[in-house]
Chains A and B, each alone.
Chain A
Amino acid sequence: MVNLLKKELKDFFKSRLSLIYFSLLFLIIVYSFYSAVDLYSKASINAIDNPLYATGFEPIAGVFVPTFGGFFIIISLMLPFVLVQFIYKEKKYNTIVLVSQFPLSLFKIYLVKIISSILIIILSLLVFSPLFVIWNNLGGHLVFKELSLLLSGYFLYSLFVIGVSFFSISVFKTSAQASIFSLSIIMFSWFVDFGKEMNISSIIKKINILSITSHLKRFEDSILSFQSVFYFILLFTFFVSLGYLFLKFSEKKRILKILIILIIHFILFYFVFSFDMKYDLSESLKNSFSVSKNRFLKEIPKLRIKVYLRPTDSRYRDYENDFLKKLRMVKSDVEIRFADEDELKKNYGLFEYELNGKKTTTYSNSEEEIFMVLEEISNKKILKDKEKSLYKGYPLVVKGKWYISLYLIYFLIFPLILIFIYYKLNYSYRRLKNEN
């Protein structure tokens, strides 16, 4: 298996596609990181002497999430083209017939190709590591757990892309068909997100739970959600196992096996979406209420909220981002309903809270006001927090030509290493010719 793995990686690095992939990656890393740091630095100028303003400065959200935004584009739009080559060339030249006759089983050969893809993803993520050193040298602050979560999110998202790519190249004959199919699945998720934001239809809203990008967003928000982790893993195993069934020669009872995979995954998906455990790993605890508020929420029964706003209303968006997101971290069973058109006309802007059949209303969407209302209908009091939030924020103003090291690494050192590997792999056997 190791020999085959070496061959797969060698084939990848000796291809021009690898040169294009990594060149684009270097370019996009430099552009995204430079822009993010520059913007963060300019915005930080006013926050340096303003402690309240400074609390809004989080390096992961302000610098690294935008930087990885470029990586998201690369892995969504380019990676399928790269990954389908692992199987496409074998199919195109029919060498799959030769390879499948090796003592290794076809399953192990398929596994080797998947492991190679995973190693390429890990390498792509490692390419980001100099950024953390540069940021640290600039005096920037980094939180290991937030950064690890962000990297894990992108790793899991890449697993999904690997799964889709292997499935599509196993089903389709040409790399163009397979890549376009992979892109369609990825873009479907973008469409669902867009549809949800624009409130296009209730069906799209319901299937938004399946949206890949919304699950990735949790990792970007420093929320460790076991639902999202298992969702990505299940998507990967689902597509990869289907791909194997389509690739395998003379597979008997293929339809039955596909059905079994569908049923098993359907059951597993059901379990994954039945419960969720979320942890706010952000240093600022931006996704959570205070400890005492969380305790209060855990003690109260199921909460029903009726919103007299349209989902596209900016007030509702603020309510969703500032309150509901935090609420769902503690009470995943909270029920949100929207008032119908007739009710909207009478009470537009109202929020109705219901606990154990007791109802109360308010027009306010401020956190403090809402908790006062909840205290009222629950007959419970929120104890005062003993500790105050210690998060002070990390504004950073960078000066001088800090970007020189960035350019040096990504425009000189890394490309040279890449070209050296490409040359070495493509021309090492050419020496034989010269010797003869």
Chain B
Amino acid sequence: MVEVRDLTKYYSDVRIINRLYFTIPQNSVSGIIGPNGAGKSTLIKIISGFENQTSGDVLINNKIVNDFDDKKKYISYMPEFMLLYPDYFVKEFLDFFHKQINYKDDELMDFLGLKSVFDKKISHLSKGWHQRLKLYTSLAMNRDIIILDEPFDGFDPLQMNDILKIFDLKKDKTFILSIHQLSQAQKICDYFVLLDNGNLISYGSIEELKEKFNCSSDLLEDIFIKALKKDG
């Protein structure tokens, strides 16, 4: 379980995150949703330890964990931008990676189809394949909480259907995703954290949000628009 308690972040005098409180249940898939500049990336960087909050706490399993080295025992984080060693062949990179983490997830490698691109140089991979490799590195670290920033960029709709099964494969993990496509988010996530301009609009399951904002539509997009209007 991940809990965010009174979390605030300032860059100089600019407030990016404003006193956020929410809880992400264990073994769930939660999406952090919001327009550009809502503070999604900053929030997940703070949760994963790559940024410091100005005030407030992040709790994991009811314990305050704010130090980066402590957080990385529980959390693996995949940033939106990361170009894995372009000069390496896929196999070469994975050999190095497995030695570093002392773990190899053959099932996951098979699921992602990585073995078929072993002989390819990473710089020659398409965006979708590179994204699979990135996903593998985050999931294979075998941490309880997996934070992914825009994990489905570069996948075509056909690939997407396959990739989404990954959440069934890793049911014992807690996923926190930052996704800008709301239709995708609705397909994947059990819970949603709605952000706007650094403020928490609401959080909960689609049913809870629908009821809260008195929305007749089942689409997350409609609920979100209604929530933004109500908040604004």
A105 to B49, CA, bound (A): 13
A94, B79: Cβ atoms closer than 8 Å: yes
Q: Please give, as numbers and ranges, the residues of chain A lying within 8 Å of B76 by CB-CB distance.
A: 101
Q: Please give, as numbers and ranges, the residues of chain B lying within 8 Å of A250 by CB-CB distance.
A: 49-52, 68
Is B81 at the interface (CB under 8 A from chain A)?
Answer: yes
Report which B residues bind A (CB closer than 8 A). 49-52, 68-69, 72, 76-77, 79, 81-89, 91-92, 96, 99-102, 118-120, 137, 141
Complex partner residue of B100 from A4, A426, A433, CB under 8 angstroms = A4
B84, A429: Cβ atoms closer than 8 Å: no
B101, A102: Cβ atoms closer than 8 Å: yes
Complex partner residue of A101 from B51, B77, B99, CB under 8 angstroms = B77
B52, A103: Cβ atoms closer than 8 Å: no
A94 to B45, CA, bound (A): 13
A101 to B143, CA, bound (A): 10
The residue among A98, A103, A249 with the most chain B CB atoms within 10 A of its own CB is: A98
- Are A94 and B91 CB-contacts (below 8 A) given A3-B96, A249-B51? no
B119, A7: Cβ atoms closer than 8 Å: no
Report which A residues bind B (CB closer than 8 A). 3-4, 7, 11, 14, 93-95, 97-98, 100-106, 248-252, 426, 429-430, 432-433, 436
Main secondary structure on A side of the interface with B = loop
B95 nearest in chain A by CB position: A429
A95, B50: Cβ atoms closer than 8 Å: no
A3 to B81, CA, bound (A): 25
Q: What are 12 A-B pairs at a CB distance below 8 A?
A: A93-B84, A94-B81, A95-B82, A98-B84, A100-B68, A249-B51, A250-B49, A250-B52, A429-B91, A429-B92, A430-B119, A432-B89
Q: Please give, as numbers and ranges, the residues of chain B lying within 8 Å of A97 by CB-CB distance.
A: 50, 77, 79, 82
A151 to B50, CA, bound (A): 41
Main secondary structure on B side of the interface with A = loop
10 other A-B residue contacts (CB within 8 Å) besides A97-B82, A105-B69, A249-B50:
A93-B82, A94-B79, A100-B72, A101-B72, A101-B77, A103-B101, A249-B51, A249-B68, A250-B51, A432-B119
Q: Please give, as numbers and ranges, the residues of chain A lying within 8 Å of B68 by CB-CB distance.
A: 100, 106, 248-250
A432, B118: Cβ atoms closer than 8 Å: yes
A40 to B15, CA, bound (A): 70
Complex partner residue of B49 from A3, A93, A249, CB under 8 angstroms = A249
Q: Please give, as numbers and ranges, the residues of chain A lying within 8 Å of B83 by CB-CB distance.
A: 93-95
- Are A104 and B50 CB-contacts (below 8 A) given A94-B81, A95-B83, A95-B84? no
The residue among A7, A104, A429 with the most chain B CB atoms within 10 A of its own CB is: A429
B82, A98: Cβ atoms closer than 8 Å: yes
The residue among B68, B76, B84, B118 with the most chain A CB atoms within 10 A of its own CB is: B68
A93 to B76, CA, bound (A): 18
Q: Please give, as numbers and ranges, the residues of chain A lying within 8 Å of B86 by CB-CB distance.
A: 93
Q: Please give, as numbers and ranges, the residues of chain B lying within 8 Å of A98 by CB-CB distance.
A: 82, 84, 137
- Are A102 and B85 CB-contacts (below 8 A) given A249-B49, A250-B52, A432-B91? no
A101 to B102, CA, bound (A): 13
Q: Please give, as numbers and ranges, the residues of chain B lying within 8 Å of A3 by CB-CB distance.
A: 96, 99-100
Distance in angstroms from B91 CB to nearest chain A CB is 6
Complex partner residue of B89 from A100, A102, A249, A430, CB under 8 angstroms = A430
Distance in angstroms from A254 CB to nearest chain B CB is 9
A252 to B66, CA, bound (A): 10
Q: Please give, as numbers and ranges, the residues of chain A lying within 8 Å of B118 by CB-CB distance.
A: 432
A351 to B87, CA, bound (A): 67
Distance in angstroms from A5 CB to nearest chain B CB is 12
Distance in angstroms from B130 CB to nearest chain A CB is 11
- Are A102 and B49 CB-contacts (below 8 A) given A94-B81, A429-B89, A432-B118? no
